Structure 1
Amino acid sequence: MSSSSSSDTTAVFDVILRKTQDKNWLSFAPDELSSLISAFTPDCPTAIHTKGYLVLSAFCQRRRTESSTPEEGTKSICATFDTPVSSRIADTEEPEALAGLTFLSSLFDVDHLAGSAIFTRDGTLEAVMDSLDLFPKLRAVDLAVAHLLGRAASHKSCRALLAADHRNWLEWKSRQTDDAELRAAAAVALVKLGRGSKADAAEVGGTLEQNAMEDDELAALMKGLVLDFRETSSLGDAVEGLAYMSTNPAVKETLSKDAAFLRRLFTLVPKRKGAAAELLGDSAASPLYGTVVIIANLCVYRPRLSTEEAQIAKLRQMAKTPKGPGPSQAQQEDENEPLDDDEHVKERGQRLLKAGAMEALTSAVRATDSRAVHSAVGKAMLSLVEDKENRGKVLQAGGGKALQAIIQAALPASKFSESSRPPEMEKGDFDSIQALAKLAITAAPVQVFGPNEGAIYDAIRPFALMLTHPTASLLQRFEAMMALTNLSSVSAEAATRIARAAGLTNKVELLMLEDHTLVRRAATELVCNLVAGSEEVFNKWGGDREAAAGGKLQVLVALCDVDDLPTRLAASGALATLTASPDACESLAELERERHRVLPILGQLIDPSVVARPAADEGAEQDEQDLLETDPGLVHRGIVCVRNLFVGVQGRSMPEQVELALETNRVGIVRALVSAVKSCTNNPSSPILWPAAEALKWLLEHGVEIPL
């Protein structure tokens, strides 16, 4: 294209771009449509390609916005492009045919539904293949056809039209050595066709015809193209093909062990935002997107299935198994592939970090606002931080800030209105939140979020959403609670903001009753921190008289008696804080009077060897194996709770106080307190000495004889 014609075309696109700002704009003038269709040919400069994509994207988006259904939108777009594009592909003049082929490929990138509709129209594929006979020696046409078949192979409706002769042509072009760019484009099409055909066959339980070219041969070809600096024009195709092939465990191992390839691959990620990266960031043909997908594929772990999910998957597998060997059997073999076990994945992640993967991922977040790229980055980082040894390296490379940027872009503040329903979450939206939660669990908040408390407050929202959203998994809820527990310890303001998150406290209260020990523990630890840091939660859990009459205190008392030391520490810590309130103490005294369980459980915290568990039969000797684990923290909390309880019931009548004192002596707490005081003989500064002495003094004043 000459410089003058290029300038004219640029001017045309500038006019069209201004028109796209008009809300009433819906169509092209004939010369505008002709310029757009011709904008993607190889002789057009990059600036024209970019503006062509911008115009095409704006038009397709406008048509879909104006349509009431996706089908109507597709029909509307095709009404504009179908006839002129089809006629150009069938044209006997090379420039026209090339324009039609390249435009249809670009339409697939921008709106694959419209691209598929035109491709599957009667006569389109025949015209595409006829162009190869019409222009047998034109490399540009071969390349355009290879690219178009590659785009079509990504979509099931188009894939169904591709027969053996199309595959044979692609294999022929992928084996020639004269044109590396054509070789890469054909190889990518073969990979996409093979992967898609395998998925199609699995859906119907059929068998799959094997490719003549094996995966390792195709992977070696495309890896070589990435390493060859001279063939930069083929990089996009090579990276796209590797993005598809990097789901193969053997290919994962090969790529991850080639440090030179990884370093070269990571250089394809731009360091800053640009028009091309922004526009095609989520296109399969974009080296930026492809690079991020390769990283994510290399380090992804097998899905962690719950017992129920594993059983369901097994039943589905049995239902799909055909009478002979087929895709279901192959799928089962993939699931048992040793190269995809946790140890191999962990080693691949370490190799990726050593080669600079984190720098590439953080650069990708800065380079584009593409939701698809951000989602892939979140998936990759979630896999990398699964290994605790990697978390420091991820933070050092700016992983925390990158994850926060992804979350902020995907989940704007408007989605967190307390009065609104839970926002719709796309697959992968929780990956970035979960990755950030893992970092927040094992590192100090200042290391993850920096010294600015505003960043911590911003993180509360997504963590709370992951905890309360109905589609979140139990693991995600667990990790959200762990992260929020750490954040709640930063300040009273942070704890208060966490407590005020919509639906959070109700969800945590339910999870405190969960059968899973770790989930129950995490919920109890979060409540303990919130009770200590938030006045609202303190009052809700028993700090005022109305709340103290509820069942929340009873739940905490029960959790002080479970066979899990961290849960007991958290529950007794919350009780120790709450018993600073006379209202909570009154409620506990009433509960003891009704159930006779509060004092035995508090005594068990101090000394399980002398205080029987409430479940034990009266008069029966306690089995040593039934003794709960003891801990200095439990002793301290138990003594504080008992001391606070005695002080908090001073408003009761003297007979009621005496009754409480006698019951305390009967269950063995007096002996436990005396034993605790004696243990402080050589440590007069022990924190348990003063509250234990105060408790014994109160008991002595209420008629209990204290043994020496």
Structure 2
Amino acid sequence: MSASDYDKRAEQLVKDAQALDYQKDHEKADALLRNALQLAPTNPAVLSEYRKLKGEADLSPVTKACMSVAFRGDTSDVIGAIQYLQDHNNPLGPSALVECISTLFIDVHTDHRKAVDPKLVTELLKRSIGKTDVVPVCLEESEKRLAVLNAICSFQSEDAAHTMAKVLTDRSGWKSPTRRKDACKAYFRILRDKLGPSTKSDFALSAVARLLMADIEMLEDLVNQSCLEFLLDRVGSTKKGKREPPSPESRSLATLALARIFEVKKNVSESMFDKYITEKLGDDGDFDLMCAYEAMAVVFSIAPKVAAKMFLENEFIESLVPSLDGRSTRVEKTALDMISAAASAPAETNCREAIKTHCMEFLVSIMNANDDSKALAATILTKLDYGTKKETGPSVEELSTVFQDLMVQDDVESQKKSLEGLAYASLKPAVKESIIKNEKLIQNLISILKKGAAEPMLAYPALIIIQNLAAYPRALTEEQKKMAQLKGYANAEKLKDDEDKREKEETVTARCDSLVRSGVVPALCLKNPSESSAALISSTFLALARNQKNRGRIAQQGAIGQLLHVYEVSNSHRTKYTAAHALARILISLDPSLAFGGRISELSAIQPLVLLLTPPEENETVDLLPVFESFMALTNLASSSNDTIRQKILQLGWEKVEDSMLAKNERVRRAATQLVCNLMDSPFCVEKFADGSKNADVRLGVLTFLTDSEDLETRLAAGGALAQFLQYEPCIKVFLPKPKALPYLLRMLKDEDQGVVHRGIICLLNLLTEGGKEAKDAVKEKNGEEVVLAALKTHTSPQLLESGVEVVKILRMPF
């Protein structure tokens, strides 16, 4: 058929489409026009009618580019279309997106499929995420679904494949869960069938990982041996021939996907893993052995029981050291990495005992050989000291000198090798003392932390070491102390460590002071800490702030901002709680205006501090120290001249404050009352006691009752709060009718403490000044003048005497 014949046939199809469109059969009209475009993609009449049918006089640059590529193989407009899509200010509605995707994947001329740019496809898919009327519409029919998904994979583009996976796993973009399930399964099958040992299938890794992490329950039946082996091949860093090893990002993705598989497909994944390792070991080549050892090391971190079973059975561990004889140092290194991972496995796996039995001599010989694996061998030996009986081999203290010698070198590689071992060793009191005295080592740790974003794998163990140095022994109840002693009888060495003077409070405080002087605080202010790093940062700041002398310097060097950041970004309640506790400890005694320095609002600290008022229960005990310190910090904040702070505290924490005024713990009760005293500067707090409700009556009764507390500080705080409350006439009208109110007030004047007496006299003065004749008669009825005169004879404070004389004058004045 000649070109003119194609044009004639296309023009006839256009006429037929026009007739169908007139009859409102738009779907058939659209199909005929598409056929016409296939026959004559450059025919002006066909293009004009197509635009008219779509209701667009001028198609968007993206639609034009897609049509040009699909029907003419013309890519001249593609770059402009990609740029248009990347600017989200440029509109492109759902119908246009559907049209573009259908054009590129369904209507595209066979000869022009290779002209489709994966970048254009990726940008179209990004625009489609979360939109229920785009990709789900394109994938509705089985045939179209397979055409689109196969085409995506044919690009071998990681971005395109991963973006399609994002579209499919975004539940908000699908009205029908069944259709999403069908699409996910179809896509996973296509990707799975393209997986293989060559690098050509690497493009599918991120898409496969995303699908498995999001929908493993849906896809578990589709995960086969080749899929698992594809992922296991990509968790290591082994290079074979000219093939480059997987990137760190690829290894992380593969590890995450494997974690989900081992979590859901427990028995099946275990048998597939055994088959993979057995085959690699059977091949006996260096590359295969390294792949097996690297896979074992990773699985130890995500499914330790699965890896431990392989490690301990079929003479794996017994034959490991003999099999390394004559092998390259690369094989030996990967074997050591695996042994190190096994040594980190939970104690119940018994891996450490097996390593001590079968590998101890080998590890000691490597450590003494002074080669590149020296630090790694020493790290393993350090791990073996925990959870197993100490029989042979160097002590942790001796091993720590290996790590410290490497850490003081300026060579980054040497530091990398020693950090993990030093992190384990720094649990020992003797090692802590030797580290803190090594200024060069401390400065190198600080330097590593300051480069945290660039070297996250170094920053984490460095954080562990700093946290170990700063950690105070956990406070134990009497019952816990007895249990610790009983355990100690069975383990004399542990009891010795528990009693080690190097772990006493004054020694730990000295270590914390040294860390602060060394400049560790700015180094702890990592910009985007991981969840585990955030936990370490919070607990370290909590320890550093224990000594009141350090709090000003810690705040000045950025701790408050970092703790607020950690609180904001962390998903762990424990980390949030620890960060809030550290924040409270810093804010207890610092002037809020100086502590925040104007860069951060004091209001941002209130929510974290209120969180502390609900302490978690652990082992049937509740630690009330964070509650007490939170109240002290809130009291300090409430002393600000900014009433918005007091209003925010009342808004977020009043219920807890009110409950704590009657807490069983005396320190908590005192701190809550002191906070109320400072909050009483706010009319919103006054209202809580004077709004005429039953709750307000109860609150006022509690506050009045606390003026007679056994604890002096509580009496002072309650008296101060009551003195402020009675400054207002409406409050006096609420106070006077209560039968016990005035007797309690007069009882304050009989207190042995001059401060309480002074507050009582101020209460009387305010009551008489604002309460008029009714208040004066009520005080006289209770012999108030005699009580005041007796107090004036007992106490000599000029301010007290001045106020007392004013009270007597008012009582003697005729009305």
| TM-score bracket for this pair, using the shorter chain length | 0.7 to 0.9
Q: Which residue of 1 aligns with 2:632?
A: 482
Q: Which residue of 2 aligns with 1:151?
A: 341
Select the residue among 105, 108, 116 that pairs with 2:300. Answer: 108
Q: How many aligned positions are there? A: 602
SS at match of 1:195: coil
Shift of 1:378: 1.3
Q: Which residue of 2 aligns with 1:5?
A: none
1:498-517 superposed matches below 5 A: 498-501=649-652, 504-514=653-663, 516-517=665-666
Contact 1:545 1:583 in 2 (8 A): no
Contact 1:463 1:480 in 2 (8 A): yes
Change (3 A) 1:464 1:211: farther
Instruction: Give the Cα–Cα distance (whole angstroms) in 2 for the partners of residues 76 and 359 of structure 1.
Output: 49
Instruction: Give the Cα–Cα distance (whole angstroms) in 2 for the partners of residues 107 and 585 of structure 1.
Output: 72
Instruction: Indicate whether 1:700 and 2:791 are aligned.
Output: no
Of 570-579 and 691-700, deviating more is 691-700
Shift of 1:437: 0.9
Give the aligned residue type for 1:639.
I
Instruction: Give the Cα–Cα distance (whole angstroms) in 2 for the partners of residues 660 and 393 of structure 1.
Output: 52
Instruction: Indicate whether 1:233 and 2:413 are aligned.
Output: yes
Contact 1:89 1:128 in 2 (8 A): no
1:348-427 superposed matches below 5 A: 348-362=511-525, 365-366=526-527, 368-410=528-570, 425-426=573-574
Q: Which residue of 1 aligns with 2:19?
A: none
Instruction: Give the Cα–Cα distance (whole angstroms) in 2 for the partners of residues 266 and 660 of structure 1.
Output: 66
Instruction: Indicate whether 1:638 and 2:760 are aligned.
Output: yes
Q: Which residue of 1 aligns with 2:391?
A: 210
Select the residue among 258, 262, 275 that pairs with 1:83. Answer: 275
Give the aligned residue type for 2:613.
L
Change (3 A) 1:477 1:246: same
SS at match of 2:680: helix
Instruction: Indicate whether 1:162 and 2:355 are aligned.
Output: yes
Instruction: Give the Cα–Cα distance (whole angstroms) in 2 for the partners of residues 35 and 19 of structure 1.
Output: 9
TM-score (norm 2): 0.67
Shift of 1:290: 0.8
Q: Which residue of 1 aligns with 2:366?
A: 173
Give the aligned residue type for 2:236.
F
Select the residue among 687, 692, 695 that pairs with 1:539. Answer: 687
Q: Which residue of 2 aligns with 1:465?
A: 611
Shift of 1:659: 5.0
**Higher RCO (Cα < 8 Å, 6 or more apart):** 1
Instruction: Give the Cα–Cα distance (whole angstroms) in 2 for the partners of residues 641 and 253 of structure 1.
Output: 56
Deviations 1:84-106 (A, max 9, x none): 13421343111111111122213
Shift of 1:425: 3.4
SS at match of 1:269: helix
Change (3 A) 1:393 1:697: closer
Q: Which residue of 2 aligns with 1:253?
A: 433
Instruction: Give the Cα–Cα distance (whole angstroms) in 1 for the partners of residues 452 and 244 of structure 2.
Output: 18
Select the residue among 258, 261, 271 that pairs with 1:63. Answer: 261
Q: Which residue of 2 aligns with 1:456?
A: 602
Change (3 A) 1:242 1:509: same
Change (3 A) 1:80 1:407: farther
SS at match of 2:295: helix
Select the residue among 115, 130, 138 that pairs with 2:328. Answer: 138
Contact 1:191 1:245 in 2 (8 A): yes
1:4-83 superposed matches below 5 A: 12-22=201-211, 23=214, 27=223, 30=226, 33-34=229-230, 36-37=232-233, 40-43=236-239, 48-63=246-261, 72=264, 74-75=266-267, 77-78=269-270, 80-83=272-275
Select the residue among 560, 566, 578 that pairs with 1:431. Answer: 578
Instruction: Give the Cα–Cα distance (whole angstroms) in 2 for the partners of residues 462 and 51 of structure 1.
Output: 34
TM-score (norm 1): 0.77
Instruction: Give the Cα–Cα distance (whole angstroms) in 2 for the partners of residues 477 and 392 of structure 1.
Output: 21
Shift of 1:374: 1.1
1:327-342 superposed matches below 5 A: 327=491, 329-342=492-505
Unaligned runs of 5+ in 2: 1-196
Instruction: Give the Cα–Cα distance (whole angstroms) in 1 for the partners of residues 674 and 697 of structure 2.
Output: 20
Deviations 1:69-89 (A, max 9, x none): x5x454465355332134213
Q: Which residue of 1 aligns with 2:510?
A: 347
Give the aligned residue type for 1:645.
L
Unaligned runs of 5+ in 1: 1-7, 65-69, 198-207, 278-285, 412-423, 609-627, 681-685, 704-708
Change (3 A) 1:110 1:51: farther
Instruction: Indicate whether 1:600 and 2:778 are aligned.
Output: no
Contact 2:379 2:418 in 1 (8 A): yes
Contact 2:205 2:254 in 1 (8 A): no
Change (3 A) 1:47 1:661: farther
Contact 2:426 2:469 in 1 (8 A): yes
Q: Which residue of 2 aligns with 1:622?
A: none
Contact 1:482 1:526 in 2 (8 A): yes
Shift of 1:516: 4.6
Contact 1:88 1:100 in 2 (8 A): yes
Change (3 A) 1:243 1:90: farther
Q: Which residue of 1 aligns with 2:480?
A: 313
Contact 1:89 1:127 in 2 (8 A): no
Instruction: Give the Cα–Cα distance (whole angstroms) in 1 for the partners of residues 696 and 552 of structure 2.
Output: 46
- Bigger Cα Rg: 2
Select the residue among 388, 396, 405 that pairs with 1:224. Answer: 405
Q: Which residue of 2 aligns with 1:187?
A: 378
Instruction: Give the Cα–Cα distance (whole angstroms) in 1 for the partners of residues 419 and 518 of structure 2.
Output: 17
Deviations 1:524-579 (A, max 9, x none): 111112222251x3222x22222586332233233323455443332112101221
Deviations 1:315-351 (A, max 9, x none): 32354465xxx41x33322222111112221222222
When the two chains are superposed, the root-mean-square deviation of aligned CA atoms in Å is 3.3
Shift of 1:9: 6.9
SS at match of 2:390: coil
Contact 2:726 2:767 in 1 (8 A): yes
Shift of 1:63: 3.4
Instruction: Indicate whether 1:585 and 2:748 are aligned.
Output: no
Q: Which residue of 1 aligns with 2:592?
A: 445
Contact 1:9 1:35 in 2 (8 A): no
Of 462-471 and 443-452, deviating more is 443-452
Task: Give percent identity, aligned residues only.
Answer: 25
Shift of 1:242: 0.8
Deviations 1:205-251 (A, max 9, x none): xxx33332022220111111222344x43533411111111111111
Contact 1:576 1:638 in 2 (8 A): yes
Change (3 A) 1:666 1:481: same
Deviations 1:578-606 (A, max 9, x none): 21344543454344x458732432423xx
Change (3 A) 1:43 1:262: farther
Shift of 1:661: 1.0
Instruction: Give the Cα–Cα distance (whole angstroms) in 2 for the partners of residues 649 and 693 of structure 1.
Output: 18
Change (3 A) 1:346 1:687: same
Give the aligned residue type for 1:550.
D
Deviations 1:610-657 (A, max 9, x none): xxxxxxxxxxxxxxxxxx2213xx5553333112323555485xxx95
Instruction: Give the Cα–Cα distance (whole angstroms) in 2 for the partners of residues 594 and 356 of structure 1.
Output: 57
Change (3 A) 1:369 1:321: closer
Change (3 A) 1:88 1:142: same
Of 102-111 and 112-121, deviating more is 112-121
